Amino acid sequence: MKILTGNDLASGDVVWWTGSEWSRHVDDAVDAGDHAEAILAAEEAARRVNASYAISATRDGASVRPAHIKERIRALGPTVRLDLTLKPADPAAGNWVI
Amino acid sequence: MGDFNFGQLRFRDDEPVADPAVTVDAFAAQTNATAVRIEPGDDARALLPHLARIALVEVEFNSFGDGRGYSSARILREHGYTGELRAVGEVLLDQLSHLRRCGFDSFAPQAPIDRAAAERAFATWPQVYQKTVDGRTPIGALRHQRSGQPSSGNA
Amino acid sequence: MYKYDNYDQAMVDARVAEFRDQTARRMAGDLTEDQFKPLRLKNGLYLQLHAYMLRVAVPYGTLSGAQMRMLGRIADKYDRGYGHFTTRQNIQYNWIKLAEAPDILADLATVEMHAIQTSGNCIRNISSDHYAGATADELVDPRPYAELLRQWSSFHPEFDYLPRKFKIAVIASETDRAAMKLHDIGIRIVMNESGELGAAFYVGGGMGRTPMIAPLVRGFVPLDQLIHYSEACLRVYNRYGRRDNKYKARIKILVHELGLAEYTRQVEEEFAHMSALGLEPPTAELARIAEMFADPPFEAGLADEVDRSDPDFAVWLDQNTHPHKQPCYAIATISLKPLGGIPGDASAEQIALMADLAEQYSFDECRVTHAQNIVLPHIRKADLYAVWQALDAAGLATANLDLVSDIIACPGLDYCSLANARSIPVAQKIAQRFSDLGRQRELGELKLKISGCINACGHHHAGHIGVLGVDRKGTENYQLLLGGSEGADTSLGKITGPGFDEDGIVDAIEKVTDVYLARRDTGERFLDTYRRIGVEPFKEAIYG
């Protein structure tokens, strides 16, 4: 599927399109399909997102897995500082990006 | 180009040149032309033999990120060009002060620039570090201007 | 070190005000991201893999205690409690909010610091020798010239939109500790036969996709012509550097494509023109700056002996200190490469400690090295033990300067959106494999450098052993290079062959060191043995 990502303009947080807004959690991402370009244009123009683009991903039950390792690291946080990621309590969180 | 009133972004008292600007390539042959347009890839020094008859040089900025026009302008001023030097094209607020320092004395931006914002932009730098063609005394010189005692910039 | 006068302070304050206005206009939608991006880059603000990243300038790597302390405060107040020291002597913060960036710059301005031109297509931070002013092997302290050029290059109106970034290094010794020939302009202060000081200009070096060693463009530029010559070099580049292809836009490509003779001819022509314009600051200005780099008030009559009875201290003393030009003093390196740590990272607490130590023991001065360590340049030998004890308590006393675990590593794919592979976990695994300090000392000087992509921010081309991370069909893969050197004997590393996965590259490096140990002559460093026996024995060992 095609999911949308970008950064929050003011905070810089990595965000994912949920269908109605932008979430910090990749599992909230939805398949934007053919509407990707239109959504990105509208959201950028309204400054609800910055530097946004579409990427490939697969859905795995409740979770969403970006196709490329770079985007998975983006979704999680730095694998060498798990305490600074979105899953600080999970010591195996880094394995998910590989 | 039509009737674009760029009066508010023009630092000259004389009348703006009405003639259309010709290309650098054509200029040498067109002996009655007084206005020329420099594209980013042109060599400004090609105009040096003709400076006396040039009243207007337009320097085209196709993209504000292409900085070649800054060198073109400064070179012309360094060689004594005193006619109008106009920055044309993708000229944005945040480039105005450096463009001025490189010798531009008029600006014809594609997208209009608010005059009050432009005036603030031109006034961005209280002093300058580099000597260039704008006549401003650089900080390095100001520091040593008085009789041997370095000045630190106290008012 | 240099201290701002009111002019310098007013310029930095004006820059803060300019950026505050630009940020407000971006947030209000008056500037698009395309219009804002070059402006924020010229204030060191990247949009990176996880957040905005701010790169703060540390001009020629020199910091006062108060400045180092502010860097720690910024880590706490605006970031996540740590900073990353870089291969250009700067510091980076990885979790910055755009909305707070102007306030950070305002805070920095209160201690004469900034993030001016640490990114963007402009002249960047000017780097220098981290032992400047302390080592006996320099002709003069190179930093006054770096400061003169820093002011000249700041907000330079003609060179604000260059084809690409522009990096300058200034040194003044034959021992090149700043990788000078791998810069767009490398300057070495030299002396001619008449005993006059001048500047040798090397132009067109760099790493990245097409690494090149800068050729000598002019062997002697008089010191009162530094600005004219620099302007000439930059103007030729601004006018003729390629703008059609981002990957061919550095000055090294221009020098290479024109050829050295033609590039030099154009520079000399422009220089002749510039000289007539009288752009140099008065000579009194260089004297004014140089005075601020005079020796600190070294004490006489101190103890020269150091008590070595603490064996851990003795190991650190031998590895991490360097002779000082002044008797009874030493230069100490604080390693930011502890086992299990992240190369170049320091916590806010560690930064605060280093600030205290600089103030208390090093005439209020410290340095950032391009190898991502910190130097205390002027320590009384009598104080070394106390300094070591304080460092040891804070995890800053790893005795590995220039050993295999003193790894230069870029942030890599863990932090950087340009990266193809992670670099930090590889660095950690290598350090773990060689964790025994005795084994490291047996290997001796071994400069290992890791880049997570071809942009080479980890300087892998200049590593005795270099590692380049690549993307091999979505999987991280690592290429091994051997024989690079960043010193006066600058050389570029050669790729050995096919790449490896993360565990494979660690094994390969171990095999390479085994070959060195088996084949070295007495007194040979790894680099020397490699240069003598060539790459084949190493390839055989790695690939069988």
Same-domain status, B80 and B151 = no
User: What are the residues facing A15 on neighbouring strands?
Assistant: A6
Exposure string (b/e) for C278-317, b if CB count within 10 Å is 16 or more? ebbbeeebbebbbeebeebeeeeeeeeebeeeeeebebbb
ipTM here: 0.97
Judged by phi (left if over 0) then psi (alpha if -120 to 50, else beta), residue C129 lies in beta
pLDDT over 80 at B155, yes or no: no
Q: Which of B117, B125, B66 is nearest to B101 (CA)?
A: B125
C-alpha of C32 from chain center: 33
Computed over every residue of chain C, the mean pLDDT equals 97
Give the pLDDT score at C187. 98
C11: contact with B, CB 8 A cutoff:
yes
For residue B29, being part of any structural domain is answered with yes
Cβ contacts of residue C276 below 8 Å, gap of 6+? none
Taking CA C521 as the corner, what is the angle to CA C517 and CA C524, rounded to the nearest 5 degrees? Answer: 80
Same-domain status, B97 and B143 = no
Q: pLDDT grade, residue C58 (50/70/90)?
A: very high
Exposure string (b/e) for C369-389, b if CB count within 10 Å is 16 or more? bbbbbbbbbbbbbbbbbebbe
pLDDT over 90 at B6, yes or no: no
Cβ contacts of residue C36 below 8 Å, gap of 6+? C22, C25, C26
- Residue C149's φ and ψ, nearest 5 degrees, are -70, -30
Q: pLDDT grade, residue B2 (50/70/90)?
A: very low
Same-domain status, B104 and B28 = yes
Same-domain status, B49 and B111 = yes
Cβ-Cβ contacts under 8 Å, C96 against chain A: 12
How far apart are the C-alpha atoms of C431 and C440, rounded to whole Å? 10
Which top CATH class is C408-543?
alpha beta
How far apart are the C-alpha atoms of A57 and B126, rounded to whole Å? 52
Judged by phi (left if over 0) then psi (alpha if -120 to 50, else beta), residue C456 lies in left
Neighbours of C322 (CB within 10 A): 16
Q: pLDDT grade, residue B4 (50/70/90)?
A: very low
Q: Running DSSP on this structure, what letter comes out for residue B61?
A: E
Note the pLDDT tens digit of each residue in C237-255: 999 999 999 999 999 999 9
Note the pLDDT tens digit of each residue in C259-304: 999 999 999 999 999 999 999 999 999 999 999 999 999 999 999 9
The shortest CB-CB distance from B70 to any of C21, C35, C161 is to C161
Q: Which of C197, C180, C181 is nearest to C141 (CA)?
A: C197
Mean pLDDT in residue range B13-25: 91
How far apart are the C-alpha atoms of C180 and C176, rounded to whole Å? 7
Q: pLDDT grade, residue B147 (50/70/90)?
A: low
C22: contact with B, CB 8 A cutoff:
yes
Residue C186 DSSP SS3? strand
B117: contact with C, CB 8 A cutoff:
no
CATH code, C311-393:
3.30.70.3340
Note the pLDDT tens digit of each residue in A41-85: 999 999 999 999 999 999 989 999 999 999 999 999 999 999 999
DSSP 3-state percent helix, strand, coil across chain C (nearest 5): 40, 20, 40
Q: pLDDT grade, residue B11 (50/70/90)?
A: very high
Residue C495 DSSP SS3? strand
Same-domain status, B34 and B109 = yes
User: What are the residues facing B108 on neighbouring strands?
Assistant: B88
pLDDT over 80 at C505, yes or no: yes
Segments making up each domain of chain C, as ranges: 6-109, 142-290, 311-393, 408-543
Give the pLDDT score at B8. 59
Contact at CB, C152 and B130, closer than 8 angstroms? yes
Same-domain status, B134 and B119 = no
User: What are the residues facing C469 on neighbouring strands?
Assistant: C478
The pTM for the full model equals 0.97
CB A53 within 8 A of CB A40: yes
The tokens describing C272, both together, are 């002749």
For residue A80, being part of any structural domain is answered with yes
The tokens describing B28, both together, are 């040498």
Q: Running DSSP on this structure, what letter comes out for residue C173?
A: B
pLDDT top residue among C373 and B6: C373
Same-domain status, B100 and B148 = no
Note the pLDDT tens digit of each residue in A14-34: 999 999 999 999 999 999 999
Give the pLDDT score at B19. 85
For residue B103, being part of any structural domain is answered with yes
DSSP chain A: -EEEEEE-TTT--EEEE-SSSEES-GGG----GGGHHHHHHHHHHTTSSEEEEEEEEEEETTEEEESSHHHHHHHH--TT-GGGSS-TT-TTGGGGG-
Cβ-Cβ contacts under 8 Å, B136 against chain C: none
Give the pLDDT score at C312. 98
Q: Could you tell me the sign of the dihedral formed by the alpha carbons of A89, A90, A91, A97, in that order?
A: negative
How far apart are the C-alpha atoms of B92 and B66, rounded to whole Å? 13
Note the pLDDT tens digit of each residue in C182-241: 999 999 999 999 999 999 999 999 999 999 999 999 999 999 999 999 999 999 999 999
Q: pLDDT grade, residue C79 (50/70/90)?
A: very high
Provide the domain count of chain B: 2
Give the pLDDT score at B1. 32
Nearest chain C CA: its distance from A45 CA (Å): 8
Give the pLDDT score at B154. 64
Q: Which of C431, C435, C411, C433 is nearest to C421 (CA)?
A: C411
Q: Which of C399, C401, C410 is nearest to C447 (CA)?
A: C401
Provide the domain count of chain A: 1
For residue B116, being part of any structural domain is answered with yes
Neighbours of C331 (CB within 10 A): 22
Q: Which of C121, C185, C199, C205 is nearest to C158 (CA)?
A: C121
Same-domain status, B14 and B78 = yes
Q: Running DSSP on this structure, what letter comes out for residue C247?
A: G
Neighbours of C424 (CB within 10 A): 26
Same-domain status, B148 and B130 = yes
Percent of chain C with pLDDT over 70: 100
The shortest CB-CB distance from C50 to any of A44, A50, A77 is to A77
Cβ contacts of residue C287 below 8 Å, gap of 6+? none
User: What does each C-alpha distance from B23 to B27, B34, B37, B81, C230 come to in angstroms?
Assistant: 6, 11, 5, 18, 31
Give the pLDDT score at B131. 98
A67: contact with C, CB 8 A cutoff:
yes
The tokens describing C109, both together, are 């301005």
Give the pLDDT score at B148. 56
pLDDT over 60 at B5, yes or no: no
Mean pLDDT in residue range C18-25: 98
Give the domain extent around A65: 2-93
Exposure string (b/e) for C80-96, b if CB count within 10 Å is 16 or more? bebbbbbbbbbbbbbbb
Same-domain status, B54 and B30 = yes
Amino acid at C411: P
For residue B2, being part of any structural domain is answered with no
Neighbours of C438 (CB within 10 A): 8
Domain of residue B110, CATH code:
3.20.20.70
Q: pLDDT grade, residue C77 (50/70/90)?
A: very high
Q: Which of C288, C338, C290, C318 is nearest to C132 (CA)?
A: C290
Cβ-Cβ contacts under 8 Å, B43 against chain C: 239
Nearest chain C CA: its distance from B135 CA (Å): 12
Question: In this complex, how many residue pairs, one in chain A and one in chain C, have their CB atoms less than 8 Å apart?
Answer: 69
For residue A21, being part of any structural domain is answered with yes
- Residue C522's φ and ψ, nearest 5 degrees, are -55, 135
Give the domain extent around B149: 126-155
**Chains contacting B with at least 3 CB pairs below 8 Å?**
C
B16: contact with C, CB 8 A cutoff:
no
CATH 3.90.480.20 is the classification of domain C6-109: yes
CATH 1.10.3450.40 is the classification of domain C142-290: no
Contact at CB, C11 and B142, closer than 8 angstroms? no
Same-domain status, B31 and B72 = yes
What's the burial of C504, exposed, middle or buried (CB within 10 Å: 0-12/13-18/19+)? middle
- Residue A31's φ and ψ, nearest 5 degrees, are -75, 115
CB C46 within 8 A of CB C119: yes
